[in-house]
Structure 1
Amino acid sequence: MIGPFLSIIVFLVFVFIAFVAFVGYKMVRPPRLIEEWTPKDLGFDYEDVTFETEDGLKLSGWWIDNGSDKTIIPLHGYTASRWYSLYMRPTIEFLLREGYNVLAFDFRAHGKSEGKYTTVGDRELLDVRAAVEWLKKTHPEKAGKIGLTGFSMGAMVTIRSLAEIEEVCCGVADSPPMDLDRTGARGLKYFANLPEWLYLFVKPFTKLFSGGKEIHPIEYADRVKKPLLLIAGEKDPLVKVEEVREFYERNGKINPNVELWITDAPHVRTLKLHPEEWKAKVGEFLRKWVG
């Protein structure tokens, strides 16, 4: 009896490990969102561009020269791309109507960019650094001031960039995860309808496959000293308002130019639900700090 019982236990353990490994693999290999529209559909000429990260990946994007010396780089979230209609398309159009140049690109392992795995905020910092370096090298006259507008994962990278990339002058972080463990666990339920406790077992496999480090933006609350607008939604199932407020209060001790805007929206949906308020708030912030 002991032999068959142990065999069953071993088999079930094997199945469980195989399952969580598969989930971990799928989490760092997001589907690629590619659509047909381009900035031309918004009424703006553009250029398809590629630039290379310091770890050797070629990233794909659009350069939209709007005749300004100020450029905004919008940063999409996990599983999205520059084509994402929920917030990237309206953000790109808004920024162009405001008169800024726009450099929009796909993070590694998203859209048309190279890369097998996302690291959800770790090596994506290299992607932003590569975009900034490309802008400085190819269009130095357009890089007088460089701002960021990021959503979810892109908001995480926005916060990191303010601390680690000198050329970035300010940033908007919409729905930024502050603790990747908490958001990752909630994400299992949100994206895959799996129990949150499973993340404890999935997490080692996400790190194994992607090679990325854990990034918790709350740790940057004591480092960011540049203008930052945080946007948090009370109905967000992934990022709790209290977590964003903790960052805001900590950062406010060293950063007089951090702002917090709390809305009633779900994750990254303030722009969709309150487009005029979002544009007014973000527009005012960018005009103040980018010009």
Structure 2
Amino acid sequence: MTPGPAGHPSPFCGPPFTERGRRTLLRTRDGVLVDAHHEPGPDTRTGGAESLAIVVAHGFTGDLERPHVRRAAAVFAQRAGVITFSFRGHGASGGRSTVGDREVLDVAAAVDWARRLGYERVVTVGFSMGGSVVLRHAASGAAGRDTEHEGRTGARVDAVAAVSAPARWYYRGTAPMRRLHWMVTRPTGRLVGRYGFRTRIHHEEWDPVPLSPVESVPLIAPTPLLIVHGDQDPYFPLDHPRTLAAAGNAELWLEKGMGHAEHAATDDLLERIARWSSHPGKNGKA
């Protein structure tokens, strides 16, 4: 989840994020229009980073215009092309949030766009809810299996990193997660989400319940997988990242003093994730 209320400026007003960037709407397999932005990376003459794209999947109640999402994109853009997007029901995207279920189709649309832009390698980096979604998307792509609702995602990735992701659904073990469940499950809570956080939440319960993050991890191999989590995360305690890492062949970074998701990720951590994305399995030291 992305703490704090959102502002309400029109996302298509004013200048683009950068002179080189491109803003567009992507249509998902189930017909939802997703607001997306492409930031070209360094010139190929400076190391060939243009062959790599990082797709950033934000946390619940975030969107591509949030300052911390833009900060992460700016750090990643020093090494790769970057695609940010707003999940359905968030910001200027259409539809309603299903809090991690159909959002896998939003990631698939962003990854497919990266391929169509000509990137040879595509890495997904997800935060919180976005972390759970990129795990499910990678599992579907690596195993060639169908998603629960809409068939093949059709968008394979070359590596995946999940930051501050839950291991299992319906977790209510912390006060922030109990507040989140109230917002998602109660009519009054969904009004708070809509007008306080600029997030439109679907009222229907999951049917069927999607594959959980921890069930997804074993299906991701041989795609390189990185799990990142803060030891001061107020949403998900350390049993979540440890359970995820133990479920498959994943690299685990437990970050001392770090809180939750993109807000808590330092520029140094984002840079290490970008280095890992360039050379998965080298612990961000390349």
Which TM-score tier does this pair reach, normalised by the shorter chain? Answer: 0.7 to 0.9
Contact 2:174–2:234 under 8 Å retained in 1: no
Query: 1:108 aligns to what?
Result: 88
Distance in structure 2 (CA, Å) of the matches to 1:212 and 1:187: 25
**What residue identity is the alignment partner of 1:176?**
A
Q: What is the number of equivalent residue pairs in this alignment?
A: 241
1:283 pairs with one of 257, 274, 285: 274
Distance in structure 2 (CA, Å) of the matches to 1:63 and 1:56: 21
Distance in structure 1 (CA, Å) of the matches to 2:40 and 2:237: 37
Contact 1:119–1:212 under 8 Å retained in 2: no
Larger Rg: 1 or 2? Answer: 1
2:100 pairs with one of 110, 113, 121: 121
**1:162 maps onto 2:138 in alignment:** yes
- The C-alpha deviation readout for 1:175-221, integer Å capped at 9, x for no partner, is 001112115874454458x7xxx99xx9xxx8852656434211113
Query: 1:89 aligns to what?
Result: 70
Query: 2:53 aligns to what?
Result: 71
Distance in structure 1 (CA, Å) of the matches to 2:58 and 2:127: 6
The ranges of structure 1 where at least 4 consecutive aligned residues each deviate by more than 6 angstroms after the TM superposition are: 36-42
**1:262 maps onto 2:254 in alignment:** yes
2:274 alignment partner, SS class: helix
Superposition RMSD in Å: 3.3
1:71 alignment partner, SS class: strand
Residues 128-277 of structure 1: pairs in structure 2 closer than 5 A: 128-137=107-116, 139=117, 141=118, 143-166=119-142, 167-183=156-172, 186-191=175-180, 209=204, 213-215=208-210, 216-225=212-221, 226-251=223-248, 255=249, 258-263=250-255, 264-268=257-261, 271-272=264-265, 274-276=266-268
Distance in structure 2 (CA, Å) of the matches to 1:55 and 1:176: 25
Q: Structure 1 residue 132: deviation in Å?
A: 2.2
Distance change >3 Å, CA 121–CA 213, structure 1 → 2: farther
Contact 1:177–1:239 under 8 Å retained in 2: yes
Distance in structure 1 (CA, Å) of the matches to 2:84 and 2:175: 28
1:163 alignment partner, SS class: helix
Contact 1:46–1:64 under 8 Å retained in 2: yes
Contact 2:52–2:278 under 8 Å retained in 1: no
Distance in structure 2 (CA, Å) of the matches to 1:92 and 1:224: 25
Structure whose residues are more often helix by fraction: 1
Query: 2:147 aligns to what?
Result: none
- The C-alpha deviation readout for 1:247-290, integer Å capped at 9, x for no partner, is 21121xxx2xx211112222116754x432x0342133112139
Distance change >3 Å, CA 131–CA 234, structure 1 → 2: same
Contact 1:190–1:237 under 8 Å retained in 2: no
TM-score under structure 2 normalisation? Answer: 0.73
- Among all aligned residue pairs of Structure 1 and Structure 2, give the percentage whose two residues are the same amino acid: 24
Contact 2:172–2:178 under 8 Å retained in 1: no
2:125 alignment partner, SS class: strand
1:133 alignment partner, SS class: helix
**What residue identity is the alignment partner of 1:156?**
S
Contact 2:122–2:158 under 8 Å retained in 1: yes
